[in-house]
Structures are given as structure tokens and as C-alpha cells.
Structure 1
Amino acid sequence: MTSLATPVLALLDGVRPAEEEKQLLAVLSRAAPLLIPQQALKGIAQSLPASLSYAVLLSSPADTSAACDALDAGAEAVVASANDAPQLLQSGVPASRLILHVDARTSTSLPELADNGVAGALVTLPEGLSASDAQTGALVAQFREALDSKQNGRPVFVEVASAEVPTLDDVARLSQLGASLVVKTSQLDLVKEDKAQSKQGTLDLVGALVSPLKSDRADGLFPTTVVASSLGTSLGLVYSSRQSIRESLLTGSAVYQSRTRGLWRKGESSGATQEVVRLRFDCDTDAVEFTVRQRKGAQHQGFCHLTERQGCFGPLAGLAALESTLVSRKESAPKGSYTARLFSDPALLSAKIREEAAELVEAKDEDSQHVAFEAADLLYFALARCVRAGVSLEDVERSLDAKAKKVSRRKGDAKPQFIQEETKKDVSTIASAPAAPSAAAAAAPSFHMTSYKLEDVDDKQRTELLKRPSIKTEAVMDLCRPILKSVKERGDEALLELTAKFDGAKLDSPVLRPPFATPDVLAKIKPEVKVAIDQAYKNIYAFHLAQKKTGGNIAASQAAGGKGAELQAQTGEREDDAVLEMETMPGVVCRRFARPIQRVGLYVPGGTAVLPSTALMLGVPAQVARCPTIVLATPPRKDGSIAPEVLYVADRVGASCVLKAGGAQAVGAMAYGTAKVPKVDKIVGPGNQFVTAAKMLVQNDTDALVSIDMPAGPSEVLVIADESSDPDFVASDLLSQAEHGPDSQVILVGIALTPEQLGRIEYALDRQARVLPRCETVRKAIEKSLTIIVPDRAEAMRWSNDYAPEHLIIQAAEPEEMARGVINAGSIFVGPWSPESCGDYASGTNHTLPTYGLARQYSGVSTSTFEKNITSQSLTADGLRLLGPHVVHLAECEELEAHANAVRLRLARLAQATSSAAK
């Protein structure tokens, strides 16, 4: 938040007389930010100047809705305690818009929070410590290092605990250290003359703002660049003094310092005055930047006093020049001219905007000049529309900035009348576009994967390329701990509060009970979707039931004499339960058999998303394993409802209840149990970083006594391709993974691909990506993606096994043969007709798979995920006679006499029986 990083942060702490407050806010809007307590925001929001940068100091405990509302309304950031940070982050407040309010002792834990991307820190000094103390300097340095402020500009604000009014020296001292001083607005004074005294008990605001300035010139002046408020166009270079800056800030009119004539009040004689929008200092505080807006009504609108042009460096160009021309033409265009028609005929202008938008959409991506040509036409008519309505480029930029500050986003889909025809075009474009790129398109595709040749990669670089991006697990765990503690201690009450904060849903009860597939629910599901769910259920059930039948090695049981039926009678095993049974030596029979985990929790991500596929992948194997209690947790929508498709799956898999909650709070409810949520013994399912961190925490909590399926990271795919691969197929598989999220990992391993062959794949990738609804998400994932060209099939498989991908797609010659060489992978998709999408939805295999390289030691979810295996042994008397002496010797070796004695007693009894029988 570099816009907040100025020498002074003004803290609103009381109401001044209306006119005095208005003047103070005007000065702050030109040079310094304001910190507004949450309770004061409502009363002052309407009177804030549009250009004022401000942050909101949240009350504690933080209200997430109020935080989001403040950011949506235009606040640069919200300031909250470290304790409130977890719920704010989970509720959608970006870390980059969150300033932590901490005391001096918090610096030790700040690096983890800084790694999470927080915007800065507001530090309250210990009682008795002033801004000028040496200890304060050490603390500021510590916090700046923790935030890496030198690299990224994250501000450190310092609040002095005492009620004493700070001095200009305090401000300058902290500014020199790289921090800003928090000063209450009741302590600020607007002094008109430089070096004049402020009122008793106040601080000269302008003096404080300019106190860090230093000049290396003999005359003490500061080089000053002047830029236009619209598009930041440079107008010229002048000089400023402390007094000219003071006048500019206090009056709002640009005042500079002439090296020969003294104060230069711009436009005083010509009328070409300038309104000061913003004043900033450069990084080493020896130069100044004025952002100005030329006031209307002057004889001429130029800045340059020699040429009367708009800028000293020559005429405007680009959009700024076009805006100036259109404004001039609107006022004086010749009657009957085309421009005059545009302004006088709304229907013509509207038609031209639609025409040019259509032509831009239809322009071919590979013809960059044509795209630029059509975009220029559209911008011309769009700007004419703005000028006709009296809207400037600055107004448009202000609107863009306001939209960028919003954290509550609309879904962003196009209106039905625009999307229907375009969808048809897009699908046909993907299917029918040529496979070979033009020379221009192949040379510089917009969606481009960084490419390496294995022969050019040394061992150190290979290790780096095989790494995944670092996940700051500890920092996320720190955010989850208070959430889990709250659910553990307060149960349903905490669960309902957290669901309201994080999911925006106010519920009467956190759970739904069966039946779930009510007529109302079924009526909301498209018939074709219901049929698809039914087919997916059938395939997944069949494959996971087969795992149960073969998981215990029936062949071994039959080879041991077929005694499985005997155990089935004793234990109630079903015919489809596999039992491993074998006689390890005469009279010694060992068995291994599965039992369902009694209570399981299934986490299905949701909220705005609809993920019946994940509900199937978790619910079906739990049903096949015959788990008696199945809790399906999924975040509710804003209205408290659950996607009907997910409810239908919950009904099909026999869920005991549906928990309407997400995130760490859902994990906590299942791990510890509440009055309404059954406690579970194992939690299974994917989720975001908060879900993963919460799962890892509860599995290590002895109060929870719960296990999890596996840790999780971003989704990933590795595609192996060679000269026989279809470029469109390869590209589509890479993109199907990239659209999961910007942190998705996408790897292409090309076997001896030539630049031309690789170019065809990249062209197909670029062409397909451009028409995807999640185009920008895909772009971010592809930017971090990797292509590695290897010389042969053996090296391709070696790279894949070293990487251990979640999804491995083999689109190369003899794919089945290559698949035999796989050692590490979550799931393999073999051949050109096996897209990953089939495994994700309906082929029968499970799509909950190990990521982040964990395929080296973890399997994907299966029927056995919901079972534990029990072993048994039964020995006959003859078996004990044979085995017993060996056991005694081993027990004696380990000096465990009780163990040895348990066998000796029995052997002695058998010996006595034998002796008696002999007599």
C-alpha cells in the first residue's frame, strides 16, 4: 500500500468544526492518508474527498462484513489485530489489503504473516518509548525486515502510546528510518506560513509532511515534475520550495518556486490555473511530483509558459490527445461533419460502438496489426461516447480504480443474449481451426510455456525445475488454530458464527438430515445432469467394489486351503469381502481382513461452485466400505442452500447428514464433534490451503483422535508427448488442468520434439486458451508452466517419476508400454482417447489424488481409504509345539520373561497332557 506510505498517517479521533474539518480533509487528500475508526466511518463517509486515500481501523472482534464493505466503498486497506486476521482472510479480505495492528512484541511472528502477503504493520510502541528513542529505531528496522519493506514498499506505521504531541523532529526521524508516524487529527494544525509556529499542543501538518525533504542544491529548491491527472502525462519540470508546497497543499492551487521571480502561482496572470490532485516525494526525498488537473475556463489550457502548449515536452499523444481533440470538436465541430453527427446522433454513435466491438471480437489473433486497428476504432467511439456525456478519461480511470478496490465480486458472466451465439462460435472455432500456425502466430503466442532442453539443464537446475512453489503451511496453520479452538470449545454456536462470517450464510442449524433428494431438490437438477451423475455413480461404484473383492488377495486365501468361509461364518464377512488367509507353518494360520471406519467426514468444496463429482469420488468408496456414519461437509450458498446436485449425490451414497460449512470450521466440527455434528474418525477430501492446514492440525491433536487421507497442494498434470501426438489433444489436456486455478502446475515433457512440433502444440494451446471462460486464470497458470524437451522415452519416464505428478497423461507411441515404467503418479491416462476429464468425472477411478510430489508415498482415495485392516492368528496345539520354542528364545533374547512365560506355560501343559496320555 505505497499510497499510504507517507511521513504522517492521520488518525481521525474527534469532530472539528465543519469548515475546519473540510479544510483538513482537503489537505490530507492531496498529500497524506487518513486512518478512520470503523465506528466513525459511517458518519464521515459522505464527506470524504474522492481523492483521499484512507484505511479503516476495525473494531475487535472484527466484523468481516464491515471489512469487506469498507474495502468495496474505496478504503485502501483495513487495519486489524493479528487475532482477527484469520477470519478476515477466509472471508475474502485480500492479504494485500490487510494491515496488522500489533505491539512491539509481535515482530517475532510477523515474518510468517508477511509471507502471507499482508499489506503492512501498524506498531504500537511500549509505554514510555518515544519516536526518537534508539530502541524505536531497532524496532522499526525489525518490522521493516520482517515485511521486506525495502523490496516491496510495505509501510510500517508507528503509534506512540503517550498522549504527548509529537514534534517535527519525531516525524523526520521516523521517516529517515522508513516509517510513518500516526498522529491524531485533533493534534494537527494547518499553519499558513513556513517556519511559523503552530498552535500550542498541536503539530504543523504541512511542516510534518515536508520535514523529510532535503535538497542538494545551493538554493535549497526541489526539482519538481508536473503530470496530468489523466493518464499521468508529463507536462514539464519546475522547482518547489517548502513555502510553495505549503501554499499548494493549503489552497489546492499549484504554486511553484521560480529561480528568478520567487513564488510562481501558476495561472495567476493567464488564468490557466491548476488544481493540485496529489503531491508525492521520490524515494530519497529530494524531488517532488505534482499531479494536477488543468482548470477550465482559461484563455488557454496549456502548461508551458513559452509555447502555451499543454506540455513543455511537446503535444499530447495517444488517448490523451484523442480526448483533447474530441472535447474541442464537441464544442466547435463544423456543422454536418462526421464528428458533429456522432455527438448529435446517439443512435449512430451506439451503432458504431456495437459495430467496432463485433469487428474486434472477430479479428484473428494471429493478425496482431488487425487486432490493434480494430481496438483503436472501438476506443475512438467509446471515448466519443464518454465526451458526449461529459465524462473524462480521468473519470474512467477513477471508476477502474474503484472497481479494483472491491473485494465483493460479481461472477462476471456475459448476459445470455451475448453469450449464446459466441459459445457456438467458440466451440466450432476450437474444433475446426487449422492445426498449423502462421509464422507470426508461431513466433509469439500469447499463452506460452517456458521451454528447456534436458541437455542444457545441469543437476542443480534440474532439482529446481522439479520443485513445486513453496507453501507457507505454518503461517496458514497459525490462522486456522483460533478457528479450530473456537469450534472445539463452543461447538455449534461457533460453527454458525463462523459460517455467517466466512460463507455469508446465516443458518438456524448447521446440518441437514436425510432424505436429501426431495422432489423440490430433484426438480432443480437438469435431466441430463441427473443421468450423467447416475452413470458416473454406476462406474465409480463398480470399480471401487472390485477393489474390495480383490484387496485382500483371495488367491492367497484359496491357496491356504479355502478357509475364508470359516472366518466369514465367525465374523459376518460378506461374500464380496476379501480375506487374506494362509498357513505360515503347520498349525499356524494367519489372516488379514478389512473393517470399515465407523465414522467418516467427506469435505466437498463448494459455496459458489457446484462439485457433485467430488461428492461422488468420496461418497461412493465410503458407501462401498460400508461406513455406518458418513458426514458430508460442504460450504453453503449465501442463502444457506446446498447445490441440489450435491444433495442428490449425498442421498445416493447414504450420507448420514450434510454439514453446511466450509473451511477450517467444517474440519473442526467433524474432528471434535458438536451437539448436532457427529464426530468422525477420519476426514477425507480436497480443499483450499485453510482446509489442508486444518486437516493437518486436527490429525495431530490427541483430543480429536482423527486421521486424514493425505496432505494436498495445487492440482497438477504432466503430459508426455512425441511426434505422433495430436497437438490439439495435448493442448486441451494441459488447459483442462490450468483452469483449476492460477497456482495449478502444468508440465509438458516432449520426447525429441522439434521446434516446429512444439510450435504446433503452443499454437493449439494459445488458440484454445483464448476462448475459455476462465482465460485469465489459465494465463496465470501457463505463465508458471514448464516444457522440458528430452531425447528419448526413457528420459521422459525418468523425469515423470522424479516429478511424481498427480495426473500423468501419456500421449506418445505405445502408451501402454510406457505406462509399465510408471513408479510415481496419482493416476495415469493412457493414450490419445483418455482425457483427464474422464477420470475427473465418470470413468470409475477416483479423482482425489496426491499432489505436490506426494505420489511418491501416497495413493489416491480408494475403498481402502475408508477401511482399516485387522490381522488374526490361530494356532493348534501342534502349531504351538512347533513355533513356541522359537518364540521363547526370541523373548529371552529381549529379556521379556513374561512373554516367554506365556508360551512356556502352554508348552508345559501340552507336555503334561502328552505324558499322561502315554501312561
Structure 2
Amino acid sequence: MTSTSSTFATTGAPEPRLRVIDLRGRRLSDAELRAVVPRQSGDFVSSAEEAVAGILEDVRHRGAAALRELAARFDGVEQQRLRVPAEAIAEAVSGLDPAVRRGLEAAIERTRAFAAAQRPADSSIEVAPGAHLTNRWTPMRRSGLYVPGGLAVYPSSVVMNVVPAQAAGVESVVLCTPPQREFGGLPHPTTLAAAGLLGVDEVWAIGGAQALGAMAYGIEDGEDRLEAVDILTGPGNIYVAMAKRQLRALVGVDGEAGTTEIAVIADSSARPDFVAADLISQAEHDPNAGSLLITDSQETAEAVAEAVAEQAAVTRHRERVATALAGQQSGVILTEDLSESIRAADAYAAEHLEIHTQDPAGVAARIRNAGAIFLGPYSPVPLGDYAAGSNHVLPTGGSAAHAGGLTTATFMKPVQIVDYSAEALAEVGEAVVALSHAEDLPAHGAAITVRGAAAKERP
């Protein structure tokens, strides 16, 4: 195959066809690789950014009235009270399917264990006699957590957001999630039940970018008050990601976890049916989801394409899957060798990266950019989506090149504590004065010398 881009023909169902980007024989720079890997349309991102700006401005100025109008427009719901009553959360817990409850409890247990291990420790050092420095980690006071609704139900995202916040020691947690017409304007009961299992009693039926605006600005709705938060976290679509981008000057945010994506590095040892199932599992989320196969084996690529066609034809959300897999954000990258596959994966900087090779741990050690890495045939992304114990709120759209996923440390901040004795200050004082004059800030130096003078006056 000599073309730069084409599609693999498949037997059976004609859709989806996986677009192929053939990099064999082409030595591209890192910048060139970043330019050719599949991405969502920039036009789509631009239009989303403009729409979100209008939504946030409306919420900031009109508060609850704007939220009700947006719920009617986007969710088809006429809302009375925006805050979910405590009894609705309790009823959701009591009515939860026992098997689902066991699944959520297993996920909570494993996620709590990993979240506790992630909690950063305070550290102290004496840099000179009498000169003590401490790095103290402190939890944020109030966190706003967003859980999407849309095309699916995400009680797992309640776990992924709430557990690390609790592990960090956050005092106050508020959860926003979209209202559902079929449940009388309340969020999905399984989402409410997950909140109840975790002891979250402040839940608001607000979805989309407007939910993030409400948590960032704070709103009043009759006797109910949503107090502004210190940090916003949680997954969502491109509109949620854009809201975080626009609100980050006002509040802290986690990474821009937009529409989901998966990349799979595979060699000739990979099982095509496993790889195909995993590509489809993420395409199931959203028509704009990205599914990318990176391989140095054309035989593997063709076999995966055949398996994708077979499995996609019978999956429940086949239209959504077909749209996602055929989109410009998905496809196959053919490489010269494994080293080039690794370079392509780093250029893509996947939210989820699976490695199906003869030595997955060795390949993972060479990866720089990924939100989460899944090793071998028995660590598929859906395991991480639910009950591996890792967190599924991860950076998308290439932001894994500079950002990580949600952890306990996301809800904490380091405070630096400086404790010098008079003798320790005197030892370094001359250096401070010299530097202050070099920067033409003599009052800085004076703050040192006045102490030196006072020390000499002491009996």
C-alpha cells in the first residue's frame, strides 16, 4: 500500500470503513506526526467554544432562570426545583438493582484503595542550619463534580469523581448531572444511587456547560443555594471541555476530558477480535469518539478491520459506532516498525492507550504521552472504565501530552512554609540584598537589613 490515506475494504457489512494513514517509508518529524494523526474537526471545536461562551454568560447573569430555559431547550424538561430532593436520592439507593449495587461497591472499594495510595505526603527539609522549608498538601474546601448523561448513564463517573475528592479530604462536594425527561426531570436513578452510596447529599439536576457555569459562579433558586466551588472536575463532551477552558481563570479545573478516545498499539501477536472489541467499546460512547489502531503489521490491520465490521454489525449502538469509526477522528496508522508505532502513539497522546504486543510492559516503558495505559490482552479499557481501581476521568484531544488524569492530588494544593531563624536569615541576607538591588527593588533588601539592624540592637 503506497497511498498516504485510504480505507480497508471489508467483507460483510460495508460500514464502518476504517480510514488508513500509511506512514511506512516516511520519516516524519514529531511535529509532522502530530499533524497527521486523526483528530476531531477544528471547526467543530470552534463552534462549540462560541456556543459555550454564550451559555456561560447567560448563566452568570440570569442564574436559575437561564438554567431552566436551557433544560427545556436541551433536555426537554420543564423544571420546578433544580436541586434534587434528599428523598429522591434515598429512593434511588433503595431501588438499585442488587447486581448493579455490588458492581458499584466493588468499583468504590478498588478506587478508594488506589486514591488513598495517590495522596501526596508532606515533606520538610532543612536547607541550612535554622532554615526550614515544608511542603504541606492541603485539600480544597469545595469541589464541583460533573457527571454526564446524554447518550448513556454514567454512575461509574460518580465513583471516579467523588472517591478521590473524599480521599483528599475535601469538606464539601456538589454533584451536577443532567435532568432526564423520562424520570420527571430528575437525573437517572442509577446516577443518584451512586451518589447516595458515596454519601453525597447535594445533587443538582443541571447538565452540560451550564452545569459547570452554575458551580463556578454559584446560583440561588428559591430557598436552595448552590455555593460556588473551588475546583471543577468530571468528564463530558466537547461543550463540557470548552466550559472548563473558559472557566479556568475563575476556578481550578482538571484536564479537559472531552469526547472519549482510544488508541491501540498492536503487532502481529495481537488478537484481532480483542482489538476490534475494544475499538468498538469506545466508539459506542459518542459519534465523535475516536478509535485508532496503530500497527506495524498490515495483516493485523486487515484482520482487525474485518473483525470490526463483523462485531459492529451486531452491536446495539451500531449506527453510533459506525459514525465514530468512519469519522476523521478514527482510523488505522500503518507504521514501519514498533518504534515508529510508539512515536505515533506519543504524537496522538491518547486518553486510553492499549498495548497488544509481545512485550507490552517494555513498550509502555517507552511511552511518554497517555492518560492511562492498559497492558496486554486482559487489561481492556472498559475494565478501567468501571472497576480496575484506576480513574477514568482522563485528558483527551492530545492534552495527555501535558496533563494527567484525575487523582487525589487534583483536589489538593501544595502550600510552601518558610521558617527561618534570625541566624539563618543573617547567613543568606547579603545574597538577598544583592539580588534585590540587581532587580531594582531596594525595598526588598531593606526588609532584610532592618532585621539585621534590630538583631544588633538586642542586648
Q: TM-score, normalised by structure 2?
A: 0.89
Aligned positions of 1:349-388 closer than 5 A: none
Q: Residues of 2 paired with 1:697 and 1:900: CA distance?
A: 39
Contact preservation (8 Å) 2:131, 2:421:
yes
- Is 1:763 the counterpart of 2:306 in the alignment? yes
- Is 1:544 the counterpart of 2:115 in the alignment? yes
In structure 2, the residue matched to 1:818 is: 363
Q: Residues of 2 paired with 1:540 and 1:658: CA distance?
A: 21
Contact preservation (8 Å) 1:516, 1:648:
no
Per-residue CA deviation, residues 229-259 of structure 1 (Å, 9 max, x unaligned), is xxxxxxxxxxxxxxxxxxxxxxxxxxxxxxx
Change (3 A) 1:748 1:475: closer
Q: Which range is displaced more, 797-806 or 736-745?
A: 736-745
- Is 1:689 the counterpart of 2:238 in the alignment? yes
Report sequence identity in percent: 37
Q: Residues of 2 paired with 1:510 and 1:861: CA distance?
A: 27
**1:471 counterpart (26, 31, 42):** 42
Change (3 A) 1:530 1:840: same
Q: Residues of 2 paired with 1:444 and 1:494: CA distance?
A: 45
The alignment's C-alpha RMSD in Å is: 2.3
**2:227 counterpart (678, 683, 689):** 678
Q: Residues of 1 paired with 2:152 and 2:180: CA distance?
A: 9
In structure 1, the residue matched to 2:406 is: 861
Contact preservation (8 Å) 2:33, 2:347:
no
Q: Residues of 2 paired with 1:490 and 1:606: CA distance?
A: 24
Q: Give the residue type in structure 2 aligned to 1:635.
A: P
- SS of residue matched to 2:259: coil
In structure 2, the residue matched to 1:505 is: 77
Contact preservation (8 Å) 1:607, 1:636:
no
In structure 2, the residue matched to 1:806 is: 351
In structure 1, the residue matched to 2:6 is: none
Change (3 A) 1:731 1:536: same
In structure 2, the residue matched to 1:455 is: 24
Change (3 A) 1:640 1:498: same
Contact preservation (8 Å) 1:496, 1:509:
no
**1:796 counterpart (318, 332, 341):** 341
Q: Residues of 2 paired with 1:883 and 1:656: CA distance?
A: 52
- SS of residue matched to 1:655: coil
Q: Give the residue type in structure 1 aligned to 2:392.
A: H
**1:783 counterpart (315, 326, 331):** 326
- SS of residue matched to 2:116: helix
In structure 2, the residue matched to 1:665 is: 210
- SS of residue matched to 1:861: coil
In structure 2, the residue matched to 1:106 is: none
Q: Give the residue type in structure 1 aligned to 2:178.
A: P
TM superposition shift of 1:475: 3.0
- SS of residue matched to 1:633: strand
Per-residue CA deviation, residues 324-362 of structure 1 (Å, 9 max, x unaligned), is xxxxxxxxxxxxxxxxxxxxxxxxxxxxxxxxxxxxxxx
Contact preservation (8 Å) 1:442, 1:760:
no
Q: Give the residue type in structure 1 aligned to 2:17.
A: H
Per-residue CA deviation, residues 293-346 of structure 1 (Å, 9 max, x unaligned), is xxxxxxxxxxxxxxxxxxxxxxxxxxxxxxxxxxxxxxxxxxxxxxxxxxxxxx
Change (3 A) 1:631 1:476: same
In structure 2, the residue matched to 1:194 is: none
Change (3 A) 1:458 1:450: farther
In structure 1, the residue matched to 2:133 is: 590
Q: Give the residue type in structure 2 aligned to 1:449.
A: L
Per-residue CA deviation, residues 813-871 of structure 1 (Å, 9 max, x unaligned), is 11111111111111000111100011111111111111111111111111111112111
Per-residue CA deviation, residues 278-301 of structure 1 (Å, 9 max, x unaligned), is xxxxxxxxxxxxxxxxxxxxxxxx
Change (3 A) 1:722 1:443: farther
Q: Which range is displaced more, 871-880 or 642-651?
A: 642-651
**2:444 counterpart (890, 895, 899):** 899
Contact preservation (8 Å) 1:595, 1:868:
yes
Change (3 A) 1:547 1:777: same
TM superposition shift of 1:446: 4.3
Contact preservation (8 Å) 1:623, 1:654:
no
- SS of residue matched to 2:345: helix
Q: Give the residue type in structure 1 aligned to 2:314.
A: V
Say how many residue pairs are matched. Answer: 440
- Is 1:750 the counterpart of 2:299 in the alignment? no
- Is 1:834 the counterpart of 2:406 in the alignment? no
Q: Residues of 1 paired with 2:11 and 2:209: CA distance?
A: 46
Change (3 A) 1:609 1:742: closer
**2:164 counterpart (594, 614, 621):** 621
Per-residue CA deviation, residues 499-550 of structure 1 (Å, 9 max, x unaligned), is 23322222221112546642x32343110000000000011111011111xx
- SS of residue matched to 1:477: helix
In structure 1, the residue matched to 2:66 is: 494
Q: Residues of 1 paired with 2:62 and 2:258: CA distance?
A: 30
Change (3 A) 1:749 1:608: closer
Aligned positions of 1:595-744 closer than 5 A: 595-606=138-149, 609-638=152-181, 639-675=184-220, 676-700=225-249, 705-744=250-289
- SS of residue matched to 2:226: coil
Per-residue CA deviation, residues 101-143 of structure 1 (Å, 9 max, x unaligned), is xxxxxxxxxxxxxxxxxxxxxxxxxxxxxxxxxxxxxxxxxxx
Per-residue CA deviation, residues 256-282 of structure 1 (Å, 9 max, x unaligned), is xxxxxxxxxxxxxxxxxxxxxxxxxxx
Q: Residues of 1 paired with 2:11 and 2:47: CA distance?
A: 43
Q: Give the residue type in structure 2 aligned to 1:485.
A: E
TM superposition shift of 1:613: 0.8
Q: Give the residue type in structure 1 aligned to 2:431.
A: H
- SS of residue matched to 1:878: helix
Q: Residues of 2 paired with 1:819 and 1:885: CA distance?
A: 49
Change (3 A) 1:588 1:467: farther
- SS of residue matched to 2:405: coil
Q: Residues of 2 paired with 1:843 and 1:627: CA distance?
A: 23
TM superposition shift of 1:659: 0.9
Per-residue CA deviation, residues 789-816 of structure 1 (Å, 9 max, x unaligned), is 2232221111111111111100101111
Q: Give the residue type in structure 1 aligned to 2:316.
A: P
- SS of residue matched to 1:632: strand
Q: Residues of 1 paired with 2:374 and 2:318: CA distance?
A: 25
Aligned positions of 1:369-448 closer than 5 A: 446-448=15-17
Contact preservation (8 Å) 1:607, 1:634:
no
Contact preservation (8 Å) 1:633, 1:659:
yes
Q: Give the residue type in structure 2 aligned to 1:726.
A: R
Q: Residues of 2 paired with 1:709 and 1:650: CA distance?
A: 20
Q: Residues of 2 paired with 1:477 and 1:721: CA distance?
A: 35
TM superposition shift of 1:683: 1.4
- SS of residue matched to 2:454: helix
In structure 2, the residue matched to 1:484 is: 56
Segments of 5+ residues of structure 2 without an aligned counterpart are: 1-8
Aligned positions of 1:558-569 closer than 5 A: none
Change (3 A) 1:580 1:818: same
Contact preservation (8 Å) 1:442, 1:762:
no
TM superposition shift of 1:470: 2.4
Aligned positions of 1:15-94 closer than 5 A: none
Change (3 A) 1:754 1:772: same
Higher relative contact order (CA 8 A, sep 6+): 2
In structure 2, the residue matched to 1:581 is: 124
Q: Which range is displaced more, 758-767 or 827-836?
A: 758-767
Contact preservation (8 Å) 1:630, 1:654:
no
**1:847 counterpart (374, 392, 398):** 392
Change (3 A) 1:640 1:441: closer
In structure 1, the residue matched to 2:4 is: none
Q: Residues of 2 paired with 1:690 and 1:441: CA distance?
A: 34
Q: Residues of 2 paired with 1:481 and 1:795: CA distance?
A: 40
